[in-house]
Amino acid sequence: MKNPFNYLQFATGDGFYDRHEIRADLRSRFLSGQTNVVLYGPRRYGKSSLVAELMSDLEKEGILCVSIDVMKTPSIDLFVSAYVSKVYKKFAPVKFEFKRLGELLKSLRFKMTIGADGEPGFSMESAQSRIEPEALEEVFDLPHRLVPANKRAVIVFDEFQEVEELLPDGQFERTMRAVIQHHRNVSYIFLGSRYHMLRRMFADRNRPFYKSAIAMMLNKPPFEESLDFVVSRFESCGKTISRQVAGLLVQKIDNIPYYIQQLGFEVFRLIDDAKRKTVSSDDVETAYRLLSGFNRDQYEQLMLTFSGAQKKLLIALAHERTREFDDDYRSRYLLGASSTVNSAKKILMEYGHIERIEDKYSVADPYFARYLRGD
């Protein structure tokens, strides 16, 4: 029987839940006219799934949509090749008219390629670690020049904070901002998992993207909606889970959408293999222990990358969440001076290992927290 939970791909269709208000809000904004949005939120909260559903909504309304994951383009030449390929394939009125591309991008030379999926695309003729501002301006202006005046388009940049690594001295941000601010029929969505970095890019008055997009925060879904989702997913396959046991499942992994899908998947696998119809609390506990064990080697390697102060802070937060690191808290867990804790906290938050949710600091990954507690 097909497992009704999905954590390896974007959650779409019946696998997508909650987010109704923000999805409707975003849909309305992009249908109404040109707007840019930066979507904040801790990792595993479902930002990419939300945007995938939104793109589906918008394309049904005739809006052209393209998404690019900056994490998968770790150099400027790879980014430009991927960006040009996706934008040109989606927006060009005559598909793969190579001569037309050369007319639009006069400062760069491209060659036609065939991807692993058999689809044609473009790549730069030679790898480059730097690209002149004029050439980069042409690349960023490509969507505006291709999209017909009577059409609209939305471009999504996932893991957008990674553009900091593509060119030195903020050249990427400055050039992109200078170009896209003149686009009237192309809108942009920016999101990323290292959301503290992303927030600085759009909230720091000294950065090019300062106040260039509407900021929206994606929080945890309501607990009751998560319960409804878990119950409905099991019921869709003829299985039964009580609201009490569903509540245990959701509580175990802090009501984080990705982990709900992952733990639900494992619980379903266990009872389906056993030919049982009803989920018990023991099933949830067993699946939780299994998943925690699967990641043990990864967590052991991760611990080698932390300083002593960072390890102490992680262990403290795994045992006790806190609103502030006052004298009592630091003394209880032998954390040392306030300045030492703040330095460790800043780095751990930067890389998404700890989060501040509902005004409390906590370890972001519930399985990692279990490992740190030694449960």
Confidence of residue 34 (pLDDT cuts 50, 70, 90): confident
For 285-331, what is each residue's pLDDT tens digit?
A: 999 999 988 888 999 999 999 999 999 999 999 999 999 999 999 99
Q: Identify the pLDDT of residue 294.
A: 87
Q: Cα(227)–Cα(10) distance, rounded to whole angstroms?
A: 20
Is residue 83 pLDDT above 90, yes or no? Answer: yes
Q: Identify the pLDDT of residue 125.
A: 65
Is residue 129 pLDDT above 80, yes or no? Answer: no
Is residue 281 pLDDT above 60, yes or no? Answer: yes
The SS3 call for residue 254 is coil
For 86-97, what is each residue's pLDDT tens digit?
A: 898 888 765 556
Is residue 241 pLDDT above 70, yes or no? Answer: yes
Q: Identify the pLDDT of residue 116.
A: 64
Q: Cα(208)–Cα(318) distance, rounded to whole angstroms?
A: 37
Q: Identify the pLDDT of residue 40.
A: 87
CA 72 vs. chain centroid, Å, equals 13
Nearest to 146 by CA among 100, 182, 109, 199: 100
CA 326 vs. chain centroid, Å, equals 32
Task: Check: CB of residue 243 under 8 Å from CB of residue 67.
Answer: no
User: pTM for this structure?
Assistant: 0.85
Domains of the chain and any CATH numbers: 19-217 (3.40.50.300), 223-294 (1.10.8.60), 305-373 (1.10.10.10)
User: What value does the mean pLDDT take over residues 268-294?
Assistant: 95
Q: Identify the pLDDT of residue 285.
A: 96
The SS3 call for residue 155 is strand
For 39-60, what is each residue's pLDDT tens digit?
A: 988 888 888 889 999 999 999 9
Which has the minimum average pLDDT: 127-131, 269-273, 294-298?
127-131
More confident residue, 111 or 156: 156
Q: Cα(12)–Cα(114) distance, rounded to whole angstroms?
A: 29
Q: Identify the pLDDT of residue 261.
A: 93
Q: How many beta carbons lie within 10 A of that of residue 237, not counting itself?
A: 14
Is residue 105 pLDDT above 80, yes or no? Answer: no
Q: What is the mean pLDDT of the chain?
A: 89
The SS3 call for residue 93 is coil
